[in-house]
Structure 1
Amino acid sequence: MEPGSQIAHRYQIIRLLGEGGMASVYLARDLQTGQDVSVKLLRVELENDAASKKRFKHDARRAIDLQNEHIVKLLDAGEADSQPFIVMEYVPGMDLKHFLKLNHPLPIATAVQLMQQIVEGMVVAHQHGVIHRDLKPQNILVGADNQIKITDFGIATALGQNELTQTNSLVGSIHYLSPEQGRGGLATPQSDVYALGIILFELLTGQVPFQGENTIAIAMKHFQTPMPSMRDWRPEIPQALDNVVQKATAKQPQDRYQDASEMATDLATVLNKKRAREPKFAVATECDDMTRPLDVEQIRQATDQLRTQIKATRPLDATIPPASVRSKRRKWPWLVGVSLLGLGLLGGGGYWYFNQPVQVPDVTGESLESARQSLASRRLKVGDVHQRYSKQIAAGEVMAIDGPLQRHRGQSIDLTVSRGVKSYQIGYYTGERYRNVADSLRKKGFVVHQETQYSADYDRGMIIKQSLPVGEVAHPGSDTITLTVSAGKDEVKLPNFKNQSVNQVLSFANQHGLPLTIMTTHSDTVANNHVVSQQVKAGHSLTRGDSLVVTIASENDAEKTTNVQLTIPYDKRHRENQVQIYVRDMNHNYRTPYQTLTITSDQTVTLPLKLKNNSTGSYRVVRDGRTILSANNIN
């Protein structure tokens, strides 16, 4: 899209940030809030792909529930002119890949601290049943103070089958792809854990563990080649830290951490001195427990062998019974054997059937009854049903599938079902202590913003006003509450104005919000329009809003012009400020504005006051309906 283009009449494109296999990402301006945001748009060639569009929207709906400081916040999602879009917070900085190029080698403690942030974000994702599936440094942003933000949740999944047909779409990910994903199997939390282990390896060594001429060669190394030790590159790396990588990247998913939470627990103590002599990690067992169909030919051969052994053990001098008896005796062992064989095959076939892995259908967004039917079609059933509030999923619809997405026939699947949007009625917070109110609101899930303002009526830390009115029904997670908090009285220490010009005093008064009152007197020692004295002595203080009173020297001219220069401050809370300036002199009064302005930044104006016969003038500046500057007795 071209700069200046708008999406949904709200987001104005500034520039392209990057392009991926499925989407393009732009920096944009939210015209409602004035904030910079990132907007992700589905690629043009996928706009007519119904499956891609459906997954794009579906994954956006799931990702919006992921609230964590280490996950890029999803702000909005929708469709404009048949083109799906996702709006996310904009994170100034760089991706982790670029960060490593600029900062390698990282100190071990720094690498661990960065990794802990990444894993913490993935803990929240796994708790919500969300699998990233495409974790890599390019999808991890590093902001100010090395603050980590994970992005691109669900985008790799949204490609589905298409990601194999997009040219080079897997090149950027193959270095971090788990063996089961490379074989075309289902991604699980352990698949994300594998990618986390590769990322930790790269953080500490500056390179990925497996290189190759093409994606196939790299994938084969993921399947077969043992994970190298980071200590081969950096011997100072503790064995306990190398063990985290070795366990996270085990070839079999069951030998890895079961999810990010388990990995986070291990990572938290990895630099502890108590683990200094930790032995090398070793997979507990190499046994292949995969369920396989029984081989009928092997069973037949084993039966023949057993029959031969029985014949060989028969006594040579045993009395041979009559033929009719032998015939009868020969029949029943064969009948028993065949029956046992049939039962064995039947039991083995049944065991094989019920232990075949099946993919759990994606029932998120369906009603509970519909989910039951979808699961039943795969010979699965609904297990425990948990409920959770959601601002995106309607009440009664499935929010998440709990547990792995690959099960065996007949197993129960636990589901999380939406209770709908949680809401609260806004109370009256003015006059309450900000810390107490903010803590209470945040525990309920609200985002609370603080603004400060000087006040002579409220003590420091007390709430002056609130953005949401009393009694309004608000929803945590979607509604933001802004509380304006008193910074106490704004005390202004006065300098010595003696011999300063009236314009210098006016500039000081405007800067500190002090209405100026000017008295006049005759002086033989002070120049005309310069200060002779001040009512409040130098070194003492006034509170913002108090009048600053000075006496200036004045000549009794019949008529004169006094030029008053003042700066009108811009209120950044509004895009534009409407300003009216009122002047009282020989030619003007306060009934009509002397000048009307629309300002978008601080603006300096000069007011020429026509005065005579030792008369005085005055002015008043009104911004958005409120008087912000004024002065009286100007001569």
Structure 2
Amino acid sequence: MDKLIGKVLGNRYEVIEKIGEGGMALVYKARCQLLNRYVAVKVLRPEFAIEDDFVEKFEKESQAAASLSHPSIINIFDVGKDENIRYIVMELVDGITLKKYIKEKEGFVSNYDILNISKQISQALEHAHVNHIIHRDIKPHNIIISDDNRIKIGDFGIARAITSSTIVSSNEIVGSVHYTSPEQARGGFVDERSDIYSLGVLMYELATKKVPFDGDSPISVALKHLKEDVLIPSSYNSGINKGLESIILKALMKKPDDRYQSASELIEDLDKVIENPEVNVPLYISAEDSPTMVMPNLGEFMEKKEKKVKKQKKSNGKKSERKSVISVMITVLVALILTLVLFTVVFFKPITSMFMNKTITVPMVVNLEFNDGTKKLQDAGFNVEVSEYKYNDLVDKDNIISQSYPEGTKLKEGFTIDIEVSKGSVMVNVPNVVQKKYVEAQVVLENSKLTLGDVEYVDNDLPKGYVVSQSIAAGKQVKEKAIIDLKVSQGVKIETMIMPSLVGKTLEEAKEQLKPLAISINKITYNYSDDYNEGQIMIQGIKTGSEIKSGSSIELIVSKGKDPLSTAIDNTDTTATDGNDTPEQTTPSLVGYKDKTYIIPFNIETESKVVKVVMLQDNVETIVYEKKHFKTEDSLRIVIRGKGEAILKFYFDDQLVYTKDETF
């Protein structure tokens, strides 16, 4: 059995069952104990979890991906560590992978469904790219499709972490090599257009049920991405419309500059084809990528050429020797002429211009916008070169940070001034720390290069120590080191109040009075009373005027009216004495106390019952009589000794028979 089943990760996520696995992670269904909802937990395989560089990049990329909020992107809720287990908590989505959808589909996927699915994926990529996040591993295995063809993309940021921090052997190309772009295959620069190429491969597979390039090994497939032309989709699926095929081919162009430059451009063409399936999408093909012509085998051609040359050498050996001397002389002469020309152009002209050009003054261009500053220097007679583009918090984006020669310097006309241009402040995505523990939120903000600002503790339903809100919403771009204020839960505030008097009120009146105080009635007992009418409250469990917490509960005793048995009780006042008249049982003799005698009918069906009398005074209950009696006794004579006002409760076998307000 899987050791993770039943384990609670991060004291929050209870692992229920394994629902999937991939090359780098296992996926489990889990229940969030804090929010009582089901989630998907992706646990990294041990070989990835032990690499510190990978883990650091992986967590940062996952946190950045967590800032994405789009209906076609699987939400990332949390990233955590439990002992040596690294995990990501994600939205649990019902459906199957797009790979399984293609495999199980009978016949080809319809043009409409291909366009609909492609548009949803494009919209998700558009949202990610705007937030400067590139997926790098778009493939049908990472995409979930529901029964109503709704798309959800997962694994944002994971491919970035792998490719930037792991060494991959020749048969372990990162991601799925069938969907990788040519620039990824050769280890070149990767940007948004790489995702578009991978989407083109996916669209090709949707249309033909085949990937455009396949081979015996990952390396052979990667080389085909680099060198071979794709077979047009209609070769496999004659039912594909012209417009859709044009879009697929444009997305699959070898050079990034020839593809769609953004997901927005791709969406625009998808919309055109949805409106008019036969519209033709123009392809931009550079000179290098012009249509391939069938050429003779170059190896055979060179071999034949070599044989021909050898034959000529045998027949014309002597002529060749004479011609070779002349050829050498001509070559040397041409080289001397070229050297002289280059020397004149490269060396002599700058020297003469140094003495002949007039002297001019360098103007100030720092803090000017790039185009304005460049024009100012050129108008003055200088050449301009950008030495570096770099981030700067003090100078606006595209403005000049510095110039190689200060204002007022005298230089010759045509001299080159180097400038540094600002890329603006370093911008970062604000992560979501709401519903995270405060200490966890501190780490997340620090890893995102943000500064923790003021922390306010507030009353909230969230458990104590969890973040309630953040001053800047998740997903927004802010300057590095921007200040984020937090509100942290200190738990639910418990208010105290004064207990009101409910005695003499009806039950409905009491409920109305207790409702705004958030006090509930947890028990209602009904007893006879000579002093309170039926339905009136005669006793409340919490004394009037005492402090009580909001949310507390109270017990009430409600009158049933006069007790029909009370007339059978002989109530006789006697002052406590030390005489010989000893009743069946009395309370201890104390000066100032009075005895009262009660004659109680005792008609019972069982053999015996324990009779108990409880005296309630000042909210304190005292047992003043307790004895077992048998059914042979027709009535009981009980003497109770007391002082002042009290309530007497008479019980047969712990069952309240009636109550009596008494004054001793």
TM-score normalised over the length of structure 1: 0.51
Q: CA deviation at 1:476?
A: 3.7
Relative to structure 1, the CA distance from residue 5 to residue 110 in structure 2 (aligned partners, 3 Å threshold; closer, same or farther) is same
Q: Equivalent of 2:51, from 46, 49, 52? A: 49
Q: C-alpha distance in 1, partners of 2:101/2:140?
A: 9
Equivalent residue of 1:146, what SS? coil
1:109 matched residue in structure 2: 112
Larger mean Cα displacement after TM superposition, 199-208 or 122-131: 199-208
The answer to whether structure 1 residue 179 and structure 2 residue 182 are counterparts is yes
Q: Deviations over 1:59-104 (max 9, x none)?
A: 1121111111111111112333254322111112111111222234
The answer to whether structure 1 residue 201 and structure 2 residue 188 are counterparts is no
Larger mean Cα displacement after TM superposition, 12-21 or 241-250: 12-21
Q: C-alpha distance in 1, partners of 2:23/2:253?
A: 28
2:364 matched residue in structure 1: none
Is the Cα contact below 8 Å between 1:116 and 1:264 reproduced in 2? yes
1:87 matched residue in structure 2: 89
1:408 matched residue in structure 2: none
Equivalent residue of 1:63, what SS? helix
Q: Deviations over 1:206-236 (max 9, x none)?
A: 2211121111221222112212211122223
Q: C-alpha distance in 2, partners of 1:219/1:178?
A: 9
Q: C-alpha distance in 2, partners of 1:205/1:337?
A: 58
Larger mean Cα displacement after TM superposition, 76-85 or 380-389: 380-389
Q: CA deviation at 1:579?
A: 11
Q: Equivalent of 1:224, from 195, 205, 227? A: 227
Relative to structure 1, the CA distance from residue 113 to residue 45 in structure 2 (aligned partners, 3 Å threshold; closer, same or farther) is same
Q: How does 1:27-46 map to 2 (within 5 A)?
A: 27-46=29-48
The answer to whether structure 1 residue 153 and structure 2 residue 156 are counterparts is yes
Q: CA deviation at 1:160?
A: 2.3
Relative to structure 1, the CA distance from residue 218 to residue 335 in structure 2 (aligned partners, 3 Å threshold; closer, same or farther) is closer
Q: Deviations over 1:472-516 (max 9, x none)?
A: 876644999xxxxxxxxxxxxxxxxxxxxxxxxxxxxxxxxxxxx
Is the Cα contact below 8 Å between 1:40 and 1:87 reproduced in 2? yes
1:260 matched residue in structure 2: 263
- For 1:219, give the aligned amino acid: A
Is the Cα contact below 8 Å between 1:390 and 1:419 reproduced in 2? no
Q: CA deviation at 1:340?
A: 3.9
Relative to structure 1, the CA distance from residue 334 to residue 21 in structure 2 (aligned partners, 3 Å threshold; closer, same or farther) is closer
When the two chains are superposed, the root-mean-square deviation of aligned CA atoms in Å is 5.3
Equivalent residue of 1:40, what SS? strand
Give % identity.
29
Q: Deviations over 1:576-614 (max 9, x none)?
A: xx995757599xx9979xxxxxxxxxxxxxxxxxxxx99
Is the Cα contact below 8 Å between 1:390 and 1:421 reproduced in 2? no
Q: How does 1:364-379 map to 2 (within 5 A)?
A: none
Is the Cα contact below 8 Å between 1:111 and 1:204 reproduced in 2? yes
- For 2:32, give the aligned amino acid: D
Q: How does 1:514-533 map to 2 (within 5 A)?
A: none
Relative to structure 1, the CA distance from residue 420 to residue 279 in structure 2 (aligned partners, 3 Å threshold; closer, same or farther) is same
1:26 matched residue in structure 2: 28
Is the Cα contact below 8 Å between 1:120 and 1:264 reproduced in 2? yes
Relative to structure 1, the CA distance from residue 389 to residue 187 in structure 2 (aligned partners, 3 Å threshold; closer, same or farther) is closer
Equivalent residue of 2:77, what SS? strand
Q: Equivalent of 1:70, from 66, 69, 72? A: 72
- Bigger radius of gyration among the two: 2
Relative to structure 1, the CA distance from residue 267 to residue 277 in structure 2 (aligned partners, 3 Å threshold; closer, same or farther) is closer
* Structure 2 unmatched runs, 5+: 291-326, 350-384, 403-418, 434-440, 459-467, 476-485, 488-507, 509-519, 529-536, 542-562, 565-664
Is the Cα contact below 8 Å between 1:4 and 1:14 reproduced in 2? yes
- For 2:118, give the aligned amino acid: M
Larger mean Cα displacement after TM superposition, 90-99 or 17-26: 17-26
Q: CA deviation at 1:131?
A: 0.9
Equivalent residue of 1:211, what SS? coil
Q: CA deviation at 1:47?
A: 2.7
1:618 matched residue in structure 2: none
- For 1:116, give the aligned amino acid: K
Q: CA deviation at 1:194?
A: 0.4
Q: CA deviation at 1:178?
A: 0.7
Q: CA deviation at 1:49?
A: 1.2
2:365 matched residue in structure 1: none
Q: How many residues align?
A: 387
1:537 matched residue in structure 2: none
The answer to whether structure 1 residue 286 and structure 2 residue 288 are counterparts is yes
TM-score normalised over the length of structure 2: 0.49
- For 1:56, give the aligned amino acid: F
Is the Cα contact below 8 Å between 1:386 and 1:417 reproduced in 2? no
Is the Cα contact below 8 Å between 1:126 and 1:189 reproduced in 2? yes
Q: C-alpha distance in 2, partners of 1:584/1:167?
A: 85
Q: CA deviation at 1:129?
A: 0.9
The answer to whether structure 1 residue 272 and structure 2 residue 275 are counterparts is yes
- For 2:343, give the aligned amino acid: V
Q: Equivalent of 1:390, from 430, 444, 450? A: 430
